[in-house]
Structure 1
Amino acid sequence: MPLRVIGMMSGTSFDAVDAAAVELAFDGDVIVLRPLGLISRPYPEPLRAAITAALPPHPVDLETVCRLDTEIGRCFADVAAAAVDELCDGRADLVASHGQTVYHWVEDGAARGTLQIGQPAWIAERTGLPVVADFRTRDIAAGGQGAPLVGLLDVLWLRSRPGNPVALNLGGIANITVDLGTDRPLAYDTGPANALLDAAVRAVTGEPYDRDGARAARGRVLPEALHRLLAAPYYRRLPPKSTGKELFHLGHLDGILSLDEDSLDDALATLTELTARTVAEAILRHDPTEVVAAGGGLRNPTLAGRLAALLGPVPLRSADELGLPSAAKEAILFALLGFLTVHGLPGTLPSTTGARHPSVLGSITPGRRPLRTLAEPVPPRALEIRPAS
């Protein structure tokens, strides 16, 4: 019997909480995944403003962290309950919650720690379901980057495709998974996707993002500013590597780009070029035959168009074309990882995070009833996406 799992995610753009429901089951050494739907709820504006004020480079006290952990947990609990009712007809087995990343501690290229908040006890109390959370820390304890964790999903899903496919996610931070058909696939953050674009728009206009990339399309790329942005040491580091808003925040632009109403279009054009160029250069190093992309950046036609142009003859296609809903991919990832965790199976590939060994990820907050699992699952060889029955 399949398990109905709700995967939950709020990314580095922290614009909304996504909950994707899926049915997951083992068919021998293949995991069969059936998407059941996605709901997305924006953070209440006061909570979103509080998260913004607590993120680097702003100082923050422990009272604020405690309050945010509680309020984000309650928000996730509301969305989880809605997903159970709206996507699962009132019946689900498990919630897998990534929570909200507020800090990812990387020092001298090594991940030292990471903090995702949104207390899972609120989700368990509201839904009665067990919750798997805190996915990244175990991989860091094993010497890994703790990010990106999407490598296992990408490898199981795409390695049987012909040629040399590359998986791409364009969230707040961009990441890729490459060398999928080899015994040592790689996954790493290439740098910002939407993070700097969104921060610039919000700082000047108060709007959450540049809708349809319209302002960037009107602007012109500033060559000197782009050159200085591309000089950031992160781009020259070798994978595995990870990053976040503790590096690519608004302060990263100080002294490089002017941010006011008159200069915003040019700033956004320059930041769009920064993202497209760093992503394309990282991808093309791996001689891809296709790029399978997901994430909010695909909804920005200015960014997606520029990236496609830089990729040249390499086709850029959406994950939707292969049966995996692009907008739900990250939430589905955590549903898959939670499913593996409750079956005692690793959720990482050491070559994708740099860890010493694979790890079973996360911590489990019990629900009201025992969790139904398979007694002896087989480590998966592949992931097959099938339409919901």
Structure 2
Amino acid sequence: MRVIGLMSGTSYDAIDAAAAELTLDGDSLVLRPLGLVGEEYDAALRETLADALPPAATSLAEVCRLDTLIGRSFAAAAVRADRELCDGSAELIASHGQTVYHWTEGGQVLGTLQLGQPAWIAEATGLPVVADFRPRDIAAGGQGAPLVSLIDQLWLRGRPGTPVALNLGGIANLTAPDGTAFDTGPACALVDAAARGLSGGSLAYDVDGALAARGSVHEPLLHRLLDEPYYALPAPKTTGKELFHLGYLRDALAGFGTLTAEDVIATLTRLTARTVADAVRGVGATEVIASGGGTRNPTLMSMLDTELPGVPLRTSDELGLPSDAKEAYAFAVLGFLTLHGLAGTEPASTGARHPSVLGSITPGRGGLRLPPPAGRAPVRLVLK
């Protein structure tokens, strides 16, 4: 089955659309990557989305408008991916949508909201769409994240030692072979916020880690940031831009006088490297396989390598899974599992009471024809 996975992360800069050919072969799920296309949000939509995200206030009218506009953007990405990567032969779309809020109280996730109405995708492509992946896990007592952990476990099974999968998006998360999985804290979220805030909006992020490379780590600021209580919480745990945003950074900077943008961003980059490394050591990792946009920041990767002496740091590209597309491929897999009646969660990773079949299905133009339920869940993911 040819499946297109759609994903826009906490950096909300673009939609990744990855196409994969997926086949169940005994106890293995075989994935053949077909490629990735990226569809940037137009500037007006990105600005509207940024203005609506916490801690900003918004209205239900704006939420409704964003749900439609993001849905149309995801639909355009799906149409393009089907045309360019599948020659019009895609059979299913799996859309994560755009996370705009993750409701957490007392360490427990109570709700989550992803915008990007799947009806627009189904209408534009004519294909069934699996969406709203996270709420079912939350309803089962889980954190609703990190959902890619099941795919990481299947993919890394059989590698020697204790390999850890690390995703460096807006938020960093890791998965260990025993199913332990959690958000470690910010990856690019605070760096991106600083780049935008300190440049007056002229920069969206630290391009190639150049600002951090020119700066020096401000140790007092780093120590203040490391005092954040989230880092001491036990797994499973999840976080997002509800916590790590520009207002959070401004509060942390209070009392330090005037610091250069380069020094602030160098300090935030070191914060990511330090908190990720602490988490990696905490699960006894012998190898780290990284993916996500943060892998394109050489300063971050160098700092992370320094923080993890003796632990090889690789990217998923080296193992055949493009790092830029990994999360989009993961949601393609989750959509495929849902359509076949198979669970897409690992309770050890999210803290749920039981595994769950994820998401809701929006029928395509020809109605809904589900494949026969799969007899058993795969135990490994094989790349071809």
Aligned partners of 2:145 and 2:350 also within 8 Å: yes
1:203 aligns with 2:200: no
**Residue number in structure 2 paired with 1:158:** 156
Tell me how many residue pairs correspond in the alignment.
Answer: 380
**Residue number in structure 1 paired with 2:344:** 347
**Residue number in structure 1 paired with 2:374:** 376
* TM-fit CA distance, 1:372: 5.4
**Residue number in structure 2 paired with 1:335:** 332
> Structure 1 residues 235, 375: closer, same or farther in 2, change over 3 A?
closer
Aligned partners of 1:80 and 1:95 also within 8 Å: yes
* TM-score normalized with structure 1 length: 0.96
1:194 aligns with 2:191: no
Aligned partners of 1:26 and 1:377 also within 8 Å: no
Counterparts in 2 of 1:1-12, with a 5 A limit? 3-12=1-10
Q: Select 2:310's aligned residue among 313, 319, 344.
A: 313
Aligned partners of 2:71 and 2:116 also within 8 Å: yes
Q: Select 1:62's aligned residue among 53, 60, 63.
A: 60
Counterparts in 2 of 1:1-389, with a 5 A limit? 3-178=1-176, 180=177, 182=178, 185-205=179-199, 206=201, 207-257=203-253, 263-369=260-366, 370-371=368-369, 373-386=371-384
CA distance in 2, matches of 1:174, 1:29: 30
* TM-fit CA distance, 1:231: 0.5
CA distance in 1, matches of 2:311, 2:74: 38
Structure 2 letter corresponding to 1:250:
L
**DSSP-derived class of the 1:97 partner:** strand
User: Identity rate of aligned residues, in percent?
Assistant: 63
Structure 2 letter corresponding to 1:196:
L
Structure 2 letter corresponding to 1:367:
G
Aligned partners of 2:16 and 2:325 also within 8 Å: yes
* TM-score normalized with structure 2 length: 0.97
Aligned partners of 2:340 and 2:370 also within 8 Å: no
> Structure 1 residues 372, 237: closer, same or farther in 2, change over 3 A?
same
Structure 1 letter corresponding to 2:325:
A
> Structure 1 residues 53, 371: closer, same or farther in 2, change over 3 A?
same
Structure 1 portions without partners, runs of 5+: none
Aligned partners of 1:38 and 1:328 also within 8 Å: yes
Aligned partners of 1:343 and 1:377 also within 8 Å: no
Structure 2 portions without partners, runs of 5+: none
**DSSP-derived class of the 2:253 partner:** coil
CA distance in 1, matches of 2:110, 2:223: 30
CA distance in 1, matches of 2:17, 2:46: 18
CA distance in 2, matches of 1:371, 1:23: 19
Partner deviation per Cα, 1:84-135 (whole Å, 9 max, x = no partner) = 0000001110000000000001110000000000000000000000000000
**DSSP-derived class of the 1:292 partner:** strand
CA distance in 1, matches of 2:374, 2:275: 43
**DSSP-derived class of the 1:69 partner:** helix
CA distance in 2, matches of 1:290, 1:163: 8
CA distance in 2, matches of 1:260, 1:211: 26
Partner deviation per Cα, 1:23-55 (whole Å, 9 max, x = no partner) = 001001110000000000110000000010000
Structure 2 letter corresponding to 1:85:
R
> Structure 1 residues 149, 69: closer, same or farther in 2, change over 3 A?
same
Partner deviation per Cα, 1:133-190 (whole Å, 9 max, x = no partner) = 0000000000000001011001101021011101100000000001x1x4xx211000
CA distance in 1, matches of 2:104, 2:237: 9
**DSSP-derived class of the 1:125 partner:** helix
* TM-fit CA distance, 1:375: 4.3
CA distance in 1, matches of 2:375, 2:318: 30
Structure 2 letter corresponding to 1:233:
P
Aligned partners of 2:342 and 2:374 also within 8 Å: no
Structure 2 letter corresponding to 1:224:
P
Partner deviation per Cα, 1:308-363 (whole Å, 9 max, x = no partner) = 11110100001011111111000001000000000110000100000000000000
Partner deviation per Cα, 1:53-91 (whole Å, 9 max, x = no partner) = 000110010000000000000000011000000000011
CA distance in 1, matches of 2:258, 2:195: 10
**DSSP-derived class of the 1:255 partner:** helix
Aligned partners of 2:22 and 2:29 also within 8 Å: yes
* TM-fit CA distance, 1:286: 1.6
Aligned partners of 1:204 and 1:260 also within 8 Å: no
Structure 1 letter corresponding to 2:322:
P
**Greater shift after overlay, 373-382 or 274-283?**
373-382
Aligned partners of 2:339 and 2:370 also within 8 Å: no
CA distance in 2, matches of 1:189, 1:53: 24
* TM-fit CA distance, 1:376: 3.4
CA distance in 2, matches of 1:188, 1:225: 25
